[in-house]
Amino acid sequence: MAKLNILITGGAGYLGSILTPVLLRSGYNVRVLDNFLFSQNSLASSCAHPNFEVVRGDARDNRTMMDLLKSTDVIIPLAALVGAPMCDRDQVGAKTTNLDAIVMMTNLLSLDQRILMPVTNSGYGIGDQDSLCTEETPLRPISLYGKTKVEAEMAVLACENAISFRLATVFGMAPRMRLDLLVNDFVYRAVNDRSVVLFESHFKRNFIHIRDVANVFLHGLENFSAMKNQAYNVGLSKANLTKLELCKKIKKLLPNFTYLEADIGEDPDKRNYIVSNAKIEATGYMAERDLDVGIKELIKGYQMIQNSRYGNV
C-alpha cells in the first residue's frame, strides 16, 4: 500500500521542524510549504531524504495552495501567527493566516482529502474554577489568537473529514526554537538570568512536550477513521500547573533560580484553566515526556542558545 502524500504548511516552524522528520521516518511522503519568515534552516537535515520536498511560498496564496493540494492526501496546516502577543502586533496577519487561509484551504479540498489541524486549548479562556475543561466545555477565547483558532477549528470540522487537536502549551527543544513559550521562557530565564518576576502566578494551564505533539499526529494518521470529525484536547495529564508550581519544578533542577510574585501587572495572555485529556487517551494515545524531562532538555539546549542579539555583552 502506497504511503500517503502529506502537505505541511508552516512546516519549517517550531512544531514542523520536529514533525517533518518524524513523518519521514514513518515512511510518509512529506512536502513542506513555508515562507521562511525567520530565515530558518530548520529542515536542513531532511533535505537528504528522497521523500521530502520543500516549497517557498505563502499558505494564503490561492494559486499556490491549489497547485499543491492536487497531489495531497493529507494536509497539516501549521502556518499561523502563534501566540497572543504576536497576533496583537499584527492583527491583519493573524486573521489572514490563522483563519482566512484555513477557510480558503477547506474550499479547495475534495471530500476525500484529510485534515489534521492543530489549534490551541486557549479557546477555553478562563475556564471554570477547579473544573476540568473537556471537549464539551464552551469555548470562550479571550485573545485574538484564541478567537482565530476557534473559528478555524469550526471551519475544518465542517469538512467532515478532519481531526482537530487542541494543544496544551508546548515545551521542549526544536531546530526552529521558540523562547516565548511559557516553560521554554522560564527555563531560559532560570539558566541565564537566574530569576523571573511572576504576574498572576496562580493562573493555571496544561503543558505538553513537542515530541509528544508530533506523536499525536502520527496517532491521528494511523487511527483517522475512528477519530475523524472530532476535537481532542492534547496535553500531559500530570501537568495542569500554575506558573508558581512550574517555577518550583524548575528550581528543583536549578537551585540558584529565584522567582518573585508581583502584586502589580498582568499576564498579556490571560489563560487560566485546567484540562482533561481523557478523550484522546481513550483512543490509545498517551503523552510520555514529563516536565522534568523537558526542563533537563532545555537546560542542555540553552548552553547553545544565547538570545543576546542586541546586548553589549
Domain 5-171+207-234 fold is: Rossmann fold (3.40.50)
Task: Report the share of the chain in percent with pLDDT over 70.
Answer: 94
pLDDT band at 312 (very low <50, low <70, confident <90, very high): low
- Whole-number pLDDT of residue 270: 61
Rounded Cα–Cα distance for residues 232 and 216 (Å): 10
Lowest mean pLDDT among 36-45, 98-107, 249-258, 296-305: 36-45
Rounded Cα–Cα distance for residues 296 and 285 (Å): 24
Lowest mean pLDDT among 25-29, 91-95, 106-110, 262-266: 262-266
C-alpha cell at 183: 516553560
**What is the average pLDDT across 84-104?**
95
- Whole-number pLDDT of residue 127: 63
**What is the average pLDDT across 279-304?**
97
First to last CA, the chain: 57
C-alpha cell at 100: 482566512
- Structural domain boundaries in the chain: 5-171+207-234, 182-205+238-274+289-301
pLDDT for 12-33, tens place per residue? Answer: 999 999 999 999 999 999 999 9
- Whole-number pLDDT of residue 248: 97
Q: What is the pTM of this model?
A: 0.94
The residue with cell 515545551 is 171
Residues in the chain: 313
pLDDT band at 298 (very low <50, low <70, confident <90, very high): very high
List Cβ neighbours of 260 (8 Å cut-off, separation of 6 or more): 195, 196, 197, 198
Residue 260 predicted with pLDDT over 70: yes
Helices (H) and strands (E) in the chain, counts: 12, 14
pLDDT for 264-283, tens place per residue? Answer: 766 666 667 889 999 999 99
**What is the average pLDDT across 9-13?**
97
pLDDT for 191-208, tens place per residue? Answer: 999 999 998 898 888 999
- Whole-number pLDDT of residue 26: 96
- Whole-number pLDDT of residue 272: 75
Higher pLDDT, 131 or 25: 25
The reply to whether 182-205+238-274+289-301 shares the fold of 5-171+207-234 is no
| Residue 247, CA distances (Å) to 25, 85, 185, 252 in order | 35, 22, 11, 9
Q: Nearest CA to 171 among 221, 95, 235, 77?
A: 235
Lowest mean pLDDT among 63-72, 123-132, 273-282: 123-132
- Whole-number pLDDT of residue 114: 98
CATH of 182-205+238-274+289-301, one of 2.40.10.340, 2.60.40.10, 3.90.25.10, 3.40.50.150: 3.90.25.10
**What is the average pLDDT across 35-52?**
94
| Residue 151, CA distances (Å) to 62, 83, 120, 155, 229 in order | 20, 15, 11, 6, 15
